[in-house]
Structure 1
Amino acid sequence: MVTRRPNAVIAISIVLAGAILAIAVWLLAQMREDALRRAQDAVFNVSLLVERDVSRNLEIYDLSLRAVIDGLRHPGVLELPPVIRQMVLFDGSIGAKDMGSVFVLDKNGNVRFDSRSVEPRPLNFAGRDFFKVQRDSPNVGLFISHPFSPGGSGTEKDQDKDQDKDMRIALSRRISQPDGSFGGVVVGTMRLTYFRHLFDGMKLGPSGSMALMLSDGTMLMRRPYDPKTIGINLTGTANYSRFIRQPNGDFFGTAAIDGVERWYAFSHIDIYPLILDVALSTGDIYVEWRRRAWIIGTLIAGLDVTIIALAILFSYQLRRRREAEEELRELARTDGLTGLNNRRAFEEEVNEEWRRAQRNGWPLSLLLIDVDYFKGFNDLYGHSAGDEALIGVARCITQNVRRPGDTAARYGGEEFAVLLPDTGAAGAQRIAEQIRTAVQALECRHVASTHHVLTVSVGAATAHGPLIETSRALINAADEALYRAKDAGRNRVQLYRAAEGAPADGAVVTPDTQGPGTH
């Protein structure tokens, strides 16, 4: 089936290439989803790790502030010597890395006790937000302040000369009197370098980001680090609007700070007024997938092109093979000299037309044509001239047998045959005479003939009814009519009458007489 339809090979190859491409696209889509899923898992793990670390350290610091408040409430602590009192109020965790000073402030904001000095430094924090909030709201609990630089306030100073690294936040709790009135504040500071070092230890790719902000949108720390972003407020940005809608979540968004598209995972840290977001750049998420997709896509494209190219080449070869087979088949059915059908092909046509005539009740006529005295022509003029003579006779036959259903053939050496479907005896006689006249009109010199030119004798037979019962009988009848034409002097048409088994009266047509008939 495929060899008979070369175009089907190309169609099948295109379907196959399309199927391979579809499978590749599906696999690449799955790989893309897997890349995003792995990135999301990594972000969730990083977010959980950071959230737990921040929450634990804030809790420890908060416990230290609570311990100071509890110590102040104990009646004997204030009576202790200053050095002992310092050790009782302020535990060792306060001196940890990135932790600043812890102060006990009175109700006016003055420092009563200082974790860094037995003799309190003369500082006043009445203007700070961590003092005002605790003073004005008795139920705030732990308050986390906005970032500030101690060096710019004239208060506590660090030995570090890099002011950016000395940016801090303050954690404060209210000290209430027994009657519930405001008695002061316990406040501890924390360097923002703690968050910076924590963020720097996480692997987020070249364009990943991480940010910690207050619930009101104030930025505390961001990676990649830029000191200009510390303290800015993100209220009104698209990402912040999503952060405050729910306790945690994830989404694709574009950062307002740098305009990079990222996938964000965010959460609110426990009971603290803090929001943590961890984000991976979509470029970083899919960079490895893009590389693999490019490789796979190139291979699949090459494979598809190869399949289709091979199919086209194979189809071309099949088409050439089919053309060659058709040519061979035609050569097998064609006489090499005259270009007419050969005897085998003619007999197949006779059998086919016989069956068709029997089914439809049509008449079927057959002509057998023999070149007169052809052996003498060959002996006198040579075989080359004889071949030319046969070609001329074949040309005369084809010029007078023009209907698509008619068939002409070289039946033997100098003998030709013509099959005329749906043609009665009169039509057959007319066609036969036209052929005989055309051959004689060639005026091919033949001195060995009684007519001195090349001529033919024609025997015609028509089957219409039960008198000629087989295709072989039709051929035999035409052959008998041809024999009688030659016996009657050649260069004539002889019709066969099936009813009498002999030629019809007046059926002999000589050069001087021509019978009527239609075709």
Structure 2
Amino acid sequence: MFATLASVVVLVSTVMVLSSGRQEAITRARNTSANVVGALARDLGRNLEVYDLSLQAVVDGMSNPEVPGLPAQLRHEILFDRSTTAAYISGIYAVDEKGRVVQARARLLPNANFSDRDYFTVHRDSANVGLFISRPYASRLRNGTASIALSRRISKDDGSFGGIALIAINLGYFQQLVDDIKPGHDGIAAIVQTDGFIVARNPRLSTGDNKATVVSAPEFMKRLTASSGSFDAQSPIDGVMRTFTYARVQGSNLIVVVGPALDDVTAEWKHRSLIIGTLVIVVSTAFTVVVWLLVFAVRQRDAAQARLVTIANTDALTGVSNRRRLDSGLDDLWASARRSGTKVALLFVDADHFKRYNDTYGHDVGDRALQHVADCLSKHARRGVDLVARYGGEEFFVALADSDECYAAQVAEAVRQEVAGPVDEIRRRELPQVTVSIGFIVCRPADGVDLEDMKRLADEALYKSKTQGRNRVTSATFADLLKEVER
């Protein structure tokens, strides 16, 4: 027994250790990636803030009605003196409402129109965009160099569109950032935009994939909606399964993503697990039969316990619930009705003149009569919904869930008729006629009525059935219920 238990413990422990080892390897990779994307996102955020300050200076200057009348040198200093001189900034411009460049940091104004660019149209169509970062595009001023633009709206005195302030940045800047990251043999590092366009990627996409984006994989992009996070997914570009970690660049539509391949991350774990797993399988196979025997023994024990619980909650003579089961089941039914606001019918059922019946026909016949009453009650109760129990001696109790007065009266009358109903002569000799008296009440627990008070009213209704001739159904009246509530 000790050896078997020890083997099971070793097997389970080994599986748990190996499983946790894989997750630990993935967690370590994610933590490393989180540090990288966090640092890179913060660096990008700071640089974007600097670029935005340059844009603000151009916007402020172009919005000042006195600036256009100043000498060219002074005007240039006001507009561009605070602008950044980073190597990857290819140009800073002021563009009028027609899309024409009217001011440039390089002084020489390019002969180009930008009215069709997204960084222009977005500000023309809305006054509340703020800082806008464009999709990657081929520059018209620098022989198609891949670039993105940062832009802000310039508004006239009356609030109408007056043009934009524009900074053009070479994508080489972003590519250099991700090239410095080493994501592993099949891993990737990338900067993408929230609409799915890839700004930079390491490894770089092949020539045929230069325009590749992840826009075609909306489910992938939905996972990048938080400010940062990690998830495992198949790459929508090359199909490699990776564990992606990402962080958004604050104040922008840029997301830094690092995704080492799961095969790379778990390679060492797989090698170690193969050795350990093989040894454990060889050892544990010898104990498989013993383990299954233990499982079968546990199942038999559980089944026996379930049977004992059923026996403990069942009246041995009639097969319906006993008083102990009634107490717990009625509390549950009452609480459920209080939560749902539904009505409950409580019925007391008592065999008429049962002591005389027992004395006349004997206890064996009396027992069969009680079984007959219980069968009739169970027949008209809904299995799994209503509650039927032997309350004591010849008295039974029924709780009908979600029941109104009409339904409760129908059930009570059907039970009364079936218990006393006509039977053939052979059956009559085996079981002489027995009748029952029934008292019931219908109430709504949510109205604040007390369960014990309602049981007492149902019992009083039963007493009325007895005093009025027996073999009848009596309902507690509304006046009875009102008196009980007022009491």
**TM-score scaled by length of structure 1:** 0.50
Task: State whether structure 2 residue 163 is matched by structure 1 residue 184.
Answer: yes
Q: Which residue of 1 aligns with 2:130?
A: 141
What is the CA distance between 1:244 and its match in structure 2?
5.7
Deviation track 1:121-170 (CA, whole Å, cap 9, x = no partner) reads 222212212112211212111111111111xxxx3126xxxx6xx31001
Residue 255 of structure 1 contacts residue 262 of structure 1 at CA under 8 Å; is this kept in 2? yes
Match 1:243 to one of 223, 229, 236: 223
Task: Give 3-state SS (helix, strand or coil) of 1:47's partner.
Answer: helix
Amino acid of the structure 1 residue aligned with 2:180: G
Amino acid of the structure 2 residue aligned with 1:156: L
Task: State whether structure 2 residue 106 is matched by structure 1 residue 106.
Answer: no
Which range moved further: 247-256 or 170-179?
247-256
Alignment of 1:246-261 (within 5 A): 246-261=226-241
Gap change, CA 1:238 and 1:121, over 3 Å in 2: closer
Amino acid of the structure 2 residue aligned with 1:168: S
Q: Which residue of 2 aligns with 1:366?
A: none
Amino acid of the structure 1 residue aligned with 2:125: D
Amino-acid identity (%): 35
Gap change, CA 1:34 and 1:145, over 3 Å in 2: same
Q: 2: CA distance between counterparts of 1:220 and 1:298?
A: 46
Which runs of no fewer than 5 residues in structure 1 stay unpaired? 1-7, 309-519
Deviation track 1:381-422 (CA, whole Å, cap 9, x = no partner) reads xxxxxxxxxxxxxxxxxxxxxxxxxxxxxxxxxxxxxxxxxx
Residue 26 of structure 2 contacts residue 243 of structure 2 at CA under 8 Å; is this kept in 1? no
Amino acid of the structure 2 residue aligned with 1:189: A
Q: Which residue of 1 aligns with 2:61?
A: 71
Q: Which residue of 1 aligns with 2:34?
A: 44
Q: Which residue of 2 aligns with 1:277?
A: 257
What is the CA distance between 1:300 and its match in structure 2?
5.6
Deviation track 1:216-262 (CA, whole Å, cap 9, x = no partner) reads 22222222211554544433415434236544433221011000011
Q: 2: CA distance between counterparts of 1:241 and 1:133?
A: 22
Residue 103 of structure 2 contacts residue 109 of structure 2 at CA under 8 Å; is this kept in 1? yes
Task: State whether structure 2 residue 210 is matched by structure 1 residue 221.
Answer: no
Q: Which residue of 1 aligns with 2:478?
A: none
Task: Give 3-state SS (helix, strand or coil) of 1:222's partner.
Answer: strand
Amino acid of the structure 1 residue aligned with 2:85: G
Residue 220 of structure 1 contacts residue 231 of structure 1 at CA under 8 Å; is this kept in 2? no
Gap change, CA 1:66 and 1:128, over 3 Å in 2: same
Alignment of 1:467-506 (within 5 A): none
Match 1:122 to one of 111, 115, 119: 111
Match 2:120 to one of 118, 122, 131: 131
Q: Which residue of 2 aligns with 1:157?
A: 142
Residue 61 of structure 2 contacts residue 79 of structure 2 at CA under 8 Å; is this kept in 1? yes
Gap change, CA 1:62 and 1:265, over 3 Å in 2: same
Q: 1: CA distance between counterparts of 2:110 and 2:217?
A: 42
Q: 1: CA distance between counterparts of 2:129 and 2:55?
A: 14
Q: 2: CA distance between counterparts of 1:170 and 1:141?
A: 13
Q: 2: CA distance between counterparts of 1:234 and 1:30?
A: 32
Amino acid of the structure 1 residue aligned with 2:75: R
Alignment of 1:198-347 (within 5 A): 198-226=177-205, 228-237=208-217, 239-243=219-223, 246-297=226-277, 304=283
Q: Which residue of 2 aligns with 1:334?
A: none
Amino acid of the structure 1 residue aligned with 2:146: M
What is the CA distance between 1:29 and its match in structure 2?
2.2
Task: Give 3-state SS (helix, strand or coil) of 1:121's partner.
Answer: coil
Residue 224 of structure 2 contacts residue 246 of structure 2 at CA under 8 Å; is this kept in 1? no
Gap change, CA 1:292 and 1:84, over 3 Å in 2: farther
Task: Give 3-state SS (helix, strand or coil) of 1:50's partner.
Answer: helix
Residue 175 of structure 1 contacts residue 186 of structure 1 at CA under 8 Å; is this kept in 2? yes
Gap change, CA 1:199 and 1:169, over 3 Å in 2: same
Q: 2: CA distance between counterparts of 1:229 and 1:243?
A: 23
Q: 1: CA distance between counterparts of 2:33 and 2:111?
A: 46
What is the CA distance between 1:45 and its match in structure 2?
1.2
Q: 2: CA distance between counterparts of 1:258 and 1:284?
A: 16
What is the CA distance between 1:207 and its match in structure 2?
1.5
Task: Give 3-state SS (helix, strand or coil) of 2:159's partner.
Answer: coil
Amino acid of the structure 1 residue aligned with 2:237: I
Gap change, CA 1:21 and 1:91, over 3 Å in 2: farther
Which range moved further: 217-226 or 174-183?
217-226
Task: State whether structure 2 residue 22 is matched by structure 1 residue 32.
Answer: yes
**TM-score scaled by length of structure 2:** 0.53
Task: Give 3-state SS (helix, strand or coil) of 1:179's partner.
Answer: coil
What is the CA distance between 1:296 and its match in structure 2?
3.7
What is the CA distance between 1:200 and its match in structure 2?
1.6
Gap change, CA 1:94 and 1:177, over 3 Å in 2: same
Task: Give 3-state SS (helix, strand or coil) of 1:174's partner.
Answer: strand
Q: 2: CA distance between counterparts of 1:229 and 1:43?
A: 25
Amino acid of the structure 1 residue aligned with 2:32: A
What is the CA distance between 1:19 and its match in structure 2?
4.5
Q: Which residue of 2 aligns with 1:493?
A: none
Residue 146 of structure 1 contacts residue 231 of structure 1 at CA under 8 Å; is this kept in 2? no
Over aligned residue pairs, what C-alpha RMSD do you find? Answer: 3.0
Gap change, CA 1:298 and 1:243, over 3 Å in 2: closer
Residue 47 of structure 1 contacts residue 278 of structure 1 at CA under 8 Å; is this kept in 2? yes
Deviation track 1:286-308 (CA, whole Å, cap 9, x = no partner) reads 11212322344466678x49x99
Q: 2: CA distance between counterparts of 1:47 and 1:184?
A: 35
Deviation track 1:1-42 (CA, whole Å, cap 9, x = no partner) reads xxxxxxx9xx94x76555544433332222222112111211
Mark the structure with the bigger radius of gyration: 1
Residue 92 of structure 2 contacts residue 168 of structure 2 at CA under 8 Å; is this kept in 1? yes
Q: 1: CA distance between counterparts of 2:91 and 2:48?
A: 15
Q: 2: CA distance between counterparts of 1:219 and 1:89?
A: 32
Deviation track 1:327-378 (CA, whole Å, cap 9, x = no partner) reads xxxxxxxxxxxxxxxxxxxxxxxxxxxxxxxxxxxxxxxxxxxxxxxxxxxx
Q: How many residues align structurally?
A: 286
Q: 2: CA distance between counterparts of 1:243 and 1:297?
A: 34
What is the CA distance between 1:190 and its match in structure 2?
0.9
